[in-house]
Structure 1
Amino acid sequence: MRIGYPCINRTLPCRGPRTFRLRSYSPERFRETVAGNLECLEKVLRWNAAHDIGFFRISSDIIPFASHPVCRFPWPRVFRPVLARLGGIIRRHGMRISMHPDQFVLVNARSERVFADSRRELEYHARLLDLLGLPLTAKVQVHVGGVYGNKPASRARFVERWRQLPRSVRRRLVIENDDRLYTVADCLEISGQTGIPVVFDCFHHQLNPDGSETADALRRCAATWRRRDGLPMVDYSAQAPGARRGAHAEQIDRRDFGRFLQTTTGVDFDLMLEVKDKERSALAALRSVGRSRSLSRRGKPDIIGRGQSG
Structure 2
Amino acid sequence: MLVRFGFVAMSVLQEKASPSKAVTFKNYQQLARQNPGAALDKVKRVARENLFNTLRLLRHCQVNGVKLYRFSSKIIPLATHPELTDWDYLTELSPQLQQIGEFVKQHEMRVTFHPDHFTLINTPREDVFQASVNDLMHHCRLLEVMRLNDQAKLITHIGGGYGNKKSALDKFIENWARIPQNIARRIALENDDKTFTARDTLCLCQKLQLPMVLDIHHFSCNHETDSRLEDIYPGFVDTWQETGLPPKIHASSPKSEADSRGHHDYVEPGSVYNFIKLARELPIDLDVMVEAKQKDQAMFKLVQDLSQLPGIVPVSAASVRI
**Same-fold call, TM > 0.5?**
yes
Moved more, 233-242 or 161-170: 233-242
2:159 is equivalent to residue 145 of structure 1:
yes
Structure 2: segments with no counterpart, 5+ residues: 29-38
Write the letter of the residue equivalent to 2:7: Y
| Matched residue SS, 2:112 | strand
Deviation per residue, 1:114-147 (Å, 9 max, x gap) = 0000000000011111111212111111110111
Q: Please tell me whether Structure 1 or Structure 2 has the larger radius of gyration of its CA atoms.
A: 2
2:21 to 18, 27, 34: 18
Deviation per residue, 1:66-125 (Å, 9 max, x gap) = 222122211111111111111111111111101111111111111100000000000001
Distance 1:289 1:225 in 2: 25
Structure 1: segments with no counterpart, 5+ residues: 300-310
The residue number in structure 2 matching 1:251 is 266
**RMSD between aligned alpha carbons?**
2.0
Write the letter of the residue equivalent to 1:103: H
| Matched residue SS, 1:65 | coil
The residue number in structure 2 matching 1:62 is 75
Distance 2:260 2:103 in 1: 38
2:312 to 292, 305, 310: 292
The residue number in structure 2 matching 1:213 is 228
| Matched residue SS, 1:164 | coil
1:93–1:298: 8 Å Cα contact kept in structure 2?
A: no
Distance 1:178 1:169 in 2: 21
2:7–2:291: 8 Å Cα contact kept in structure 1?
A: yes
Aligned pairs for 1:209-288 within 5 A: 209-210=223-224, 211-228=226-243, 230-265=245-280, 266=282, 267-288=284-305
1:4–1:272: 8 Å Cα contact kept in structure 2?
A: yes
Distance 2:276 2:88 in 1: 45
2:210 is equivalent to residue 196 of structure 1:
yes
| Matched residue SS, 1:29 | helix
Deviation per residue, 1:21-70 (Å, 9 max, x gap) = 11333321111010010111111110111011110111110012222212
2:6 to 4, 7, 12: 4
Q: 1:185 to 1:256 in 2, by over 3 A?
A: closer
1:130 to 137, 141, 144: 144
Moved more, 107-116 or 273-282: 273-282
Distance 1:119 1:35 in 2: 25
Moved more, 239-248 or 190-199: 239-248
The residue number in structure 2 matching 1:51 is 64
| Matched residue SS, 2:243 | helix
Shift of residue 245, structure 1, vs aligned partner: 2.2
| Matched residue SS, 1:149 | coil
Shift of residue 297, structure 1, vs aligned partner: 7.6
Write the letter of the residue equivalent to 1:270: D
2:12–2:296: 8 Å Cα contact kept in structure 1?
A: yes
2:303–2:318: 8 Å Cα contact kept in structure 1?
A: no
| Matched residue SS, 1:142 | strand
Write the letter of the residue equivalent to 1:8: M
Shift of residue 295, structure 1, vs aligned partner: 5.4
Deviation per residue, 1:145-178 (Å, 9 max, x gap) = 1111111111011011111011111000111110
TM (norm. structure 2) is 0.87
Distance 1:107 1:255 in 2: 34
The residue number in structure 1 matching 2:31 is none
2:87 is equivalent to residue 73 of structure 1:
yes
Write the letter of the residue equivalent to 1:59: S
1:140–1:173: 8 Å Cα contact kept in structure 2?
A: yes
Shift of residue 11, structure 1, vs aligned partner: 1.1
Write the letter of the residue equivalent to 1:10: V
Moved more, 74-83 or 229-238: 229-238
Distance 2:258 2:12 in 1: 22
Write the letter of the residue equivalent to 1:91: K
Q: 1:295 to 1:209 in 2, by over 3 A?
A: farther
Shift of residue 240, structure 1, vs aligned partner: 2.0
Shift of residue 212, structure 1, vs aligned partner: 2.5
2:191 is equivalent to residue 182 of structure 1:
no
The residue number in structure 2 matching 1:37 is 50
Instruction: State the identity %.
Output: 27
Distance 1:297 1:162 in 2: 39
1:95–1:298: 8 Å Cα contact kept in structure 2?
A: no
Over 6 Å off, 4+ runs: 296-299
2:11–2:295: 8 Å Cα contact kept in structure 1?
A: yes
